[in-house]
Structure 1
Amino acid sequence: MHRIHFTADDLARVRVAPTLGPMAETLFSLYALRGRAEETMFGAWRRRVRGGIDSRFAVLAAITPARPPSFDMALLAGRGRDLAENAETFLASPRKAVRAELDFYAGHHGRVPAALAGIVDTLTARREVLSTVEAYHRGAVGPHWRGIRAHLDAERAQRGTVLLDRGVDGLLSSLHPSIRWSPPILHVDSSQFDADFPLNGRGLLLVSSFFLRFPAVMYEPGNPADCILIYPAALGVDHAASIWTGGPTTRALANLLGRTRASVLTAIADGVNTTGALARRLDVSSAAISQHTAVLREAGLITTRRHHSSVLHHSTHAGRALLDRHDTPRPAA
């Protein structure tokens, strides 16, 4: 069990991010690739990716062994907008930080794998590890990254709605069945080891993950107060299928509604439900979003309601049917 200890200052400094970036999700995907759980959502992806992996990718097994903890390359790579930014951060990681991660790894597994042994002192060794991860990303995650990122953006928007409706207590109480909020302590089920994380006023960053299907606490060894909680994003079979296939009706919808308006309707169905969030996701102005939502609302494809100072959009049954979505919209709480 991991226990994250909050003070009043920490509660005021809870933040939510959609993702740590493509490198973190690529590394997290190795857990989903190895496992057999949630086969209906990941089975086809697993079979395709496993078929393209050969002995050159043995380093991936060293980074994420069958028994945790892993070598926390995601933490060393930091948050990034794209893989290149993550890669640059990893290559520039201080020797002390890399050594601390390897010592932590060896403390739980008994040794440092040969594939990782040289990365503390040798930039060439880091580049070799990075090259393998990048090659794996291109085959396993890169082709789906746009859809994955959109899903994680929608997850963050959903958590924002929970925060508006139910406050920090509601947010921390609804992250995942394996996470239990018993103020002032957040309990996180873990098979790794028993640990306490006093935040000491620094607050907590909550980050969703598409591939990691169990919660995890990330932190620098020796600095447990500066930790990050990774929690699994809500994911249904239809959501996963649309990401692997790219959505069967995307082109038809664009022809029918126009590309931007089809994207607005899809984003709303995914849970991105404020005008500002839609504008950021689609990189258009809020005024343009308002025009598109007005048309969609008049056509009966979305509904709009005001919640305090925010305007929230939700897809209707007709809108979801047009998207070939047979699920109901995810509840806000």
Structure 2
Amino acid sequence: MHRIHFTADDVARVRVAPTLGPMAETLFSLTTLRRRAEETAFGGWRRRVRGGLGPRSAVLAAIAPARLPCFDMALLAGPGRDLAESAETFLASPRRAVRAELDFYAGHHGRVPAALAGLIDTPAARREVLSTVEAYHRAAVAPHWTAIRAHLDAERARRGAILLDHGVDGLLSSLHPDIRWTPSTLHVNAGDQFDDDFVLDGRGLLLVPSFFLRAPGVMYDPIDPTDYILIYPASLGADHAAGIWTTGTSAQALANLLGRTRASVLTAIADGVATTGALARRLDISSAAVSQHTTVLREAGLITTLRHHSNVLHNPTQTGLTLLDRERTPV
């Protein structure tokens, strides 16, 4: 059991991020690949990915062995907007940070596998491991990343709504069945082999949902354990998962109907990206272009627009959600 101890300042500094990025989710997916849990949601994906694993799969098995803990490459790679950003961070990781992760791994598994043994001192070994992970990402995660990221954005928006309606107590009490909030301690069931107490000491806690990681865990730097991240499983029903694996066809059909950019605007609004500025950043277009597209969507009855102080907030209508083949997510 992990116990995370809060002060009043920590409660005020709880934040929610949508994701640590594609590198972290790719690494988290290795754990899901090795297990049989949530077969309805992940069974088809597992069978397809396992059937395509190449001869370097031993490296992947070393990173995520059958028994926890994994080699925490996600911590070394850090959060990143894309795979390349996290890859650069991993390649530049200090030797002592890599050694600390491998020592922790060996402490639980008895040894460091040969596939990981050179990561401390040998740049070529890091590049080889990274190349294997990148190839796995292209096969297992990249085809679905846009839909996965949209699902995680929607999860963050849902948590924001819970925070607004029910406060921090409501947010921390509703994260996952294996996470229990008894003010002022958050209890995280991380398995019998892990028993730790984490004192936030006024720094707060970052909450990050994961699509692939289906059990909660605490991420922190063992050399400098000052900032803690709680990774929790995003809500995921079988119907949502099915939509992730088949999203390419429906997304193309929607783009054919509305136009690619306008379809992306509607999808982003349904994912909880509500303001013109946020839409412009998400889609990498100008605010003027966003305004043009939202005007058309509003006139078609697919979104509504409200002004809140200096912000213009967009929300999907039921018609818009139906077009996206979605239902309103209950809060």
TM over 0.5: yes
Bigger CA drift: 298-307 or 248-257? 298-307
Q: Over residues 18-59 of structure 1, what are the superposed CA-to-partner deviations in whole Å (9 max), with x where a residue is unaligned?
A: 111211111100111112222222122111110111332101
Summarize the Cα distance change of 1:240–1:223 in structure 2 as closer, same or farther, 3 Å threshold.
same
Please report how far the alpha carbon of residue 102 of structure 1 lies from its aligned counterpart in structure 2 after TM superposition: 0.9
Please report how far the alpha carbon of residue 132 of structure 1 lies from its aligned counterpart in structure 2 after TM superposition: 1.2
Bigger CA drift: 78-87 or 278-287? 278-287
Summarize the Cα distance change of 1:287–1:181 in structure 2 as closer, same or farther, 3 Å threshold.
farther
Q: Over residues 38-83 of structure 1, what are the superposed CA-to-partner deviations in whole Å (9 max), with x where a residue is unaligned?
A: 2222122111110111332101111111111111110011111111
Find the counterpart in structure 2 of residue 330 from structure 1: 329
SS at match of 2:69: coil
SS at match of 2:265: helix
Find the counterpart in structure 1 of residue 200 from structure 2: 199
Alignment of 1:53-72 (within 5 A): 53-72=53-72
Find the counterpart in structure 2 of residue 4 from structure 1: 4
- Amino acid corresponding to residue 329 of structure 2 in structure 1: R
Summarize the Cα distance change of 1:290–1:164 in structure 2 as closer, same or farther, 3 Å threshold.
farther
Q: Over residues 217-255 of structure 1, what are the superposed CA-to-partner deviations in whole Å (9 max), with x where a residue is unaligned?
A: 111225443221111122233332332223433333233
Structure 2: how far apart are the matches of 1:162 and 1:303?
A: 21
Find the counterpart in structure 2 of residue 106 from structure 1: 106
- Amino acid corresponding to residue 247 of structure 2 in structure 1: G
Alignment of 1:246-285 (within 5 A): 246-285=247-286
Find the counterpart in structure 2 of residue 134 from structure 1: 134
Please report how far the alpha carbon of residue 150 of structure 1 lies from its aligned counterpart in structure 2 after TM superposition: 2.3
Please report how far the alpha carbon of residue 85 of structure 1 lies from its aligned counterpart in structure 2 after TM superposition: 1.4
Residues 271, 329 of structure 1: 8 Å contact kept: no
Alignment of 1:15-26 (within 5 A): 15-26=15-26
Q: Over residues 192-232 of structure 1, what are the superposed CA-to-partner deviations in whole Å (9 max), with x where a residue is unaligned?
A: 41111111122211111111111111112254432211111
SS at match of 1:207: strand
Summarize the Cα distance change of 1:252–1:222 in structure 2 as closer, same or farther, 3 Å threshold.
closer
Please report how far the alpha carbon of residue 92 of structure 1 lies from its aligned counterpart in structure 2 after TM superposition: 1.0
Find the counterpart in structure 2 of residue 182 from structure 1: 182
Find the counterpart in structure 1 of residue 119 from structure 2: 119
Structure 1: how far apart are the matches of 2:182 and 2:214?
A: 22
SS at match of 2:231: strand
Q: Over residues 146-186 of structure 1, what are the superposed CA-to-partner deviations in whole Å (9 max), with x where a residue is unaligned?
A: 22222222222222232233332222222222211211111
Q: TM-score, normalised by structure 1?
A: 0.90
Find the counterpart in structure 1 of residue 218 from structure 2: 217
Summarize the Cα distance change of 1:136–1:307 in structure 2 as closer, same or farther, 3 Å threshold.
same
Please report how far the alpha carbon of residue 90 of structure 1 lies from its aligned counterpart in structure 2 after TM superposition: 0.9
Structure 2: how far apart are the matches of 1:242 and 1:274?
A: 25
Please report how far the alpha carbon of residue 310 of structure 1 lies from its aligned counterpart in structure 2 after TM superposition: 6.1
Q: Over residues 242-279 of structure 1, what are the superposed CA-to-partner deviations in whole Å (9 max), with x where a residue is unaligned?
A: 32223433333233323222222222333434444333
Residues 271, 330 of structure 1: 8 Å contact kept: no
Bigger CA drift: 158-167 or 15-24? 158-167
Residues 269, 329 of structure 1: 8 Å contact kept: no
Summarize the Cα distance change of 1:59–1:255 in structure 2 as closer, same or farther, 3 Å threshold.
closer
Alignment of 1:21-170 (within 5 A): 21-170=21-170
Q: Over residues 65-113 of structure 1, what are the superposed CA-to-partner deviations in whole Å (9 max), with x where a residue is unaligned?
A: 1111111110011111111111111111111111111111111111111
Residues 157, 271 of structure 2: 8 Å contact kept: no
Find the counterpart in structure 2 of residue 242 from structure 1: 243
Summarize the Cα distance change of 1:259–1:131 in structure 2 as closer, same or farther, 3 Å threshold.
closer
Residues 157, 273 of structure 1: 8 Å contact kept: no
Please list every run of 5 or more consecutive structure 1 residues that lacks an aligned counterpart in the other structure.
none
- Amino acid corresponding to residue 328 of structure 2 in structure 1: P
Structure 1: how far apart are the matches of 2:156 and 2:143?
A: 22
Residues 158, 272 of structure 1: 8 Å contact kept: no
SS at match of 2:56: helix
Residues 63, 71 of structure 2: 8 Å contact kept: yes
Summarize the Cα distance change of 1:214–1:12 in structure 2 as closer, same or farther, 3 Å threshold.
same
Please list every run of 5 or more consecutive structure 2 residues that lacks an aligned counterpart in the other structure.
none
SS at match of 1:165: helix
Q: TM-score, normalised by structure 2?
A: 0.91
Please report how far the alpha carbon of residue 318 of structure 1 lies from its aligned counterpart in structure 2 after TM superposition: 2.4
